[in-house]
Amino acid sequence: MAATAQIVLIVMVITYITIRLFKISTELALFIAALAGAVAGGAGIPARHIVEGAFTYLDIILIFITATLFMNILKESGGVAFVVRGLLARFHRHKAILFVLITFLLLIPGALTGAGSVTVLITGGMIATVLHYMGIPKAKAAAIIFILAGLSAAAPPVSLWAMLTAAGVNMPYVGFFLPLLIPCVVLSLLTIFILGWKAKAVNLEKALEELPLAPARMNWQRVLLPFSVFFLLVAAGRIWPHSLPIIGLPLLFVAAGLSSFLLSPIKLDFFKISRETVQQLLPLIGTLTCVGILVQIMTLTGARGLIAISIVTLPLTVVLLSLSLVLPISEAVLMWGAAPVLGVPLVLLFNTIGLNPIVALAGMSVIWPLGDALPPTAIIGRLTQDTVGLEGSYGQLLKQCLIPAVIIMVAGTLLVIFSKELSFLTLL
Amino acid sequence: MIITLLYYLLIAYIAVLIIWNLIRSKKWQEEILYLIILMPFILRLFRLK
């Protein structure tokens, strides 16, 4: 069985690399690698397992789509432009306060949707303008937006790496709020202050000229009410758990999105925004579906077990010291697929040796997004480069990311090592 | 019961969006990907899975 699993794994890797060489997308390469693995493992084309795999992350896909739809409605209604312009007008003389506010503006879209790309698309462009008028070079601005977008994706309430891994080890996605929130916020603030420490006060007139205008009737109530609907429904579910039905995050986001739509001061085309949301999310939904299929086939053929056994039998020091390199590289190759493939055996290993699996997983979740800047995928890195309008080599962005990336790697690894001591953060 | 019905409606709406984008897409890779991601939505909608 082990020999077969090794052959299957080798076939999958070779197929994946070959397909990528033909410039086929990562998602399709994952899908074809899964099919090749099934054939090599003697399972033929296992329709049942393909369907099972495609369903693995359906709930997460629903959260993804509805949360991004909510964010897109808010953006199209002028809410995001209103907030950015408002904060800039009020705090343009106070660099530190502006940095803190920018941090939260960049963290919220990704935290709610679980996707760093949403942060880049919703607020990235506008924040890049603000940073530009603070005298921050484009490469540094791109690095700030990329790193914060990555951390926003890891931040709660929706952290896909944590959710996927937790699902893989049959662990409820509970107790992750503080272990994810604290490092994400602290590391985001460190990043923006380190990369932006030479910034000067904003040239308000020029910045406001370049930022998109908000509709005249837009106000704070119209922006904040949809968020209040969301958080009130979340709170109500927790306060009266036996009296209210479990609504689920997708419907909560639908409720917030509909509130935002109804409160919009301008007429919006709901169907058009929905279509564009699905189009925008296609690579991400595709990855989740194909990764589900890949993981299912890997389980069927024993390849997943082989990876798990190989990891848990490595010396612990090697595992801990290599986390900061292995996790970003696995993210660069498999994107979220890295969580069920590598995350699951790692969490099981940490749990076995007495570390706290929740805090340890939070530490790993902080490191994973760094891989989104690395080839072959580098989806969010390249998206950030385009959004900011950074011309020239992509290497400039990577160079600027280096110092914050090292800090994040160290912090993530320390969270894993000291997870037992930090278990109070889970509030369980 | 109402929540389940709402989820079926949500699934149906997203399936319509995927089919709409699939028909409009001009790139073959995108089309295949749309077909793959459509599968769970259609199966859930028709209560086959």
Which pLDDT band, with edges at 50, 70 and 90, does A421 fall under? very high
CA A278 to chain centre: 17
Flag if A250 and B10 touch (Cβ within 8 Å). yes
Tokens of A385: 């480069």
DSSP at A71: H
Closest CA to A75 of A264, A278, A275: A264
Contact B33 A28 (CB under 8 A): yes
Domains in chain B, number: 1
Measure the N-to-C terminal CA separation of chain B; round to a whole number of Å. 18
The chain-wide mean pLDDT, for chain A, equals: 91
Does residue A34 have a pLDDT over 60? yes
Q: Cα A83 vs. chain centroid, distance in angstroms? A: 23
Mean pLDDT to the nearest integer, A323-352: 89
pTM over 0.80: yes
pLDDT at residue A1 greater than cutoff 70: no
The pLDDT value recorded for residue A376 is 66
* Range with lowest mean pLDDT among A139-143, A160-164, A348-352, A373-377: A373-377
Residue ranges making up the domain that contains B13: 2-45
d(CA A121, CA A117): 6
CA distance A362 to A182: 10
Distance from C-alpha of A28 to C-alpha of A307, rounded to nearest angstrom: 22
Give this complex's ipTM.
0.96
User: How many Å lie between the alpha carbon of B7 and the closest alpha carbon of chain A?
Assistant: 8
Nearest CA-CA distance, residue B25 and chain A, Å: 10
Instruction: Note the pLDDT of residue B30.
Output: 95
Say if residues A124 and A149 touch (Cβ distance below 8 Å). Answer: yes
- Indicate the number of domains in chain A: 1
- Quick check: is A229 in a domain? no
pLDDT in tens, A219-256: 999 999 998 998 898 888 878 888 888 888 899 999 99
What number of other Cβ atoms are within 10 A of residue A128's Cβ? 22
Closest chain B CA to residue A48: B49
Of the CA atoms within 13 Å of residue A57, those in its CB half-sphere come to: 31
Q: What is the mean pLDDT of residues A357-375?
A: 94
Contact A248 B20 (CB under 8 A): no
Q: Judging by beta carbons within 10 Å of its beta carbon (0-12, 13-18, 19+), is residue A407 exposed, middle or buried?
A: middle
Average pLDDT, stretch B5-22? 97
- Residue of A266, A246, A232, A213 whose CA lies nearest to A73: A266
In a mutational test of the A interface, the residue from B1, B14, B23, B47 whose CB has the highest number of chain A CBs within 10 Å is: B14
Q: Which amino acid is at A207?
A: A
User: Does B21 contact A at CB distance below 8 Å?
Assistant: yes
Question: Could you tell me the maximum CA-CA distance found in chain A, to the nearest angstrom?
Answer: 68
The mean pLDDT of A397-401, rounded to a whole number, is 95
In angstroms, what is the C-alpha Rg of chain B?
Answer: 12
**pLDDT, tens digit, 9 for 90 and up, residues A317-330:** 999 999 999 999 98
* Sign, Cα dihedral of A211, A229, A108, A325: negative
In a domain, A325, yes or no: yes
Q: On the CB side of A415, how many CA atoms lie within 13 Å of its CA?
A: 32
Position B3 scores a pLDDT of 92
Asked if residue A254 is part of any domain, the answer here is: no
Q: Where are the alpha helices (DSSP H) in chain B?
A: 2-24, 28-45
Mean pLDDT, residues A7-31: 92
Question: What per-residue confidence (pLDDT) applies to A349?
Answer: 93
The confidence band for A21, taking pLDDT boundaries of 50, 70 and 90, is very high
Q: Do B3 and A27 touch (CB under 8 A)?
A: no
Q: Which domain holds residue A139?
A: 2-218+265-426
8 Å CB contact of A286 and B49? no
pLDDT computed for residue A2 by the predictor: 55
B-chain residues within 8 Å CB-CB of A25? 29, 33
Q: Which residue bears the tokens 């709930």? A: A59
pLDDT at residue A155, rounded to an integer: 96
Q: Which letter does DSSP use for residue A341 in this model?
A: I
The predicted model gives A374-383 an average pLDDT of 79
- A383-405 average pLDDT score: 91
pLDDT at A377 over 70: no
